[in-house]
Structure 1
Amino acid sequence: MKTAHDLVTAAKARVDEIAIDDAEAAIRDADIVIDVREADEFAAGHVPGAVLIPRGMLEFRLSGAPELASRTLKAVLYCKTSGRAALAACAMQDMGYTNVRSIAGGFDAWAAAGKAVAQPSLPSFE
């Protein structure tokens, strides 16, 4: 029987993880940056320009969005610490995507490195 840790370890062995120092360049080169965290995590702060596609919906959203159909799409994925992103990257590889990478350390490493963080602003009702 495998644990979640076992699955993440196997996934990380299969995917191309980008070091945090190289993440900004990889993002500039990407066609899409996907945040696979949940909506509340995304709302608390995310990588500028990232699109929210929670891990549990990834395969369905990719299958239902013609603009994401190209299997040569350059995608960079991240989550909180990199486990969900590694699993998501493997799922995309299994779907035939050939240019999928994840950010080592995830959003926590991004924020800790002092990289830009976007937060949605709420409207003022004054």
Structure 2
Amino acid sequence: MKNAHDLVAAAKARIREIPLSESESAIHAADVLLDVREPDEYRAGHIAGALNIPRGMLEFKMSGTPELGSRDLNILLYCKGGGRAALAAQTLQEMGYLSVSSITGGFDAWAAAGKPVDKPALPSFE
């Protein structure tokens, strides 16, 4: 019987991970930057330009959104630490997407490195 760690390790062996040191150039080269965390995680802070599609909805959103239907899209994913993004990248490959990768270490590594984080601004009531 496999556990979550086993599944993530197997996925990471089948996908391409982008080292944090190359992540900014990979983001600029990507057609789509996907944040596969939950909406509350995304609202707390995310990488600028990221589209939030939680991992649990990935197959449905990708299949149901014509703009995301091209299998030639260059897709870069991230999650909190890399596990969900690895599983999501493997799923996208199984769906036929040809250029899929994830950021090693995910959002936590990005933020810990002092890279820019977008957070929704609260309205000013003054």
Specify if TM > 0.5: yes
Q: Distance in 1 between matches of 2:72 and 2:123?
A: 38
- After superposition, give the CA deviation of every residue in 1:84-119 in whole Å (9 maximum; x if it has no partner): 000000000000001000000000000011111000
In the alignment, structure 2 segments of 5+ residues that lack a partner are none
Structure 1, unaligned stretches of length 5 or more? Answer: none
Q: Does structure 1 residue 92 correspond to structure 2 residue 92?
A: yes
Partners of 2:64 and 2:121 in 1: how far apart?
A: 29
SS in 2 for 1:97: coil
Aligned partners of 1:58 and 1:124: how far apart in 2?
Answer: 34
RMSD: 0.7
1:109 and 1:71 mapped to 2: Cα distance? 28
4+ residue runs of structure 1 moved beyond 6 angstroms? none
Name the residue aligned to 2:57.
57
Give aligned-pair identity as a percent.
65
Measure the CA separation in 1 of the matches of 2:51 and 2:71: 18
Q: Which amino acid aligns with 2:17?
A: E
Aligned length: 126
Partner in structure 2 of residue 10 of structure 1: 10
Length-normalised TM-score, structure 1: 0.98
Describe the SS at the equivalent of 2:75.
Answer: strand
Question: Structure 2 length as normaliser, TM-score?
Answer: 0.98
Shift of residue 125, structure 1, vs aligned partner:
3.4
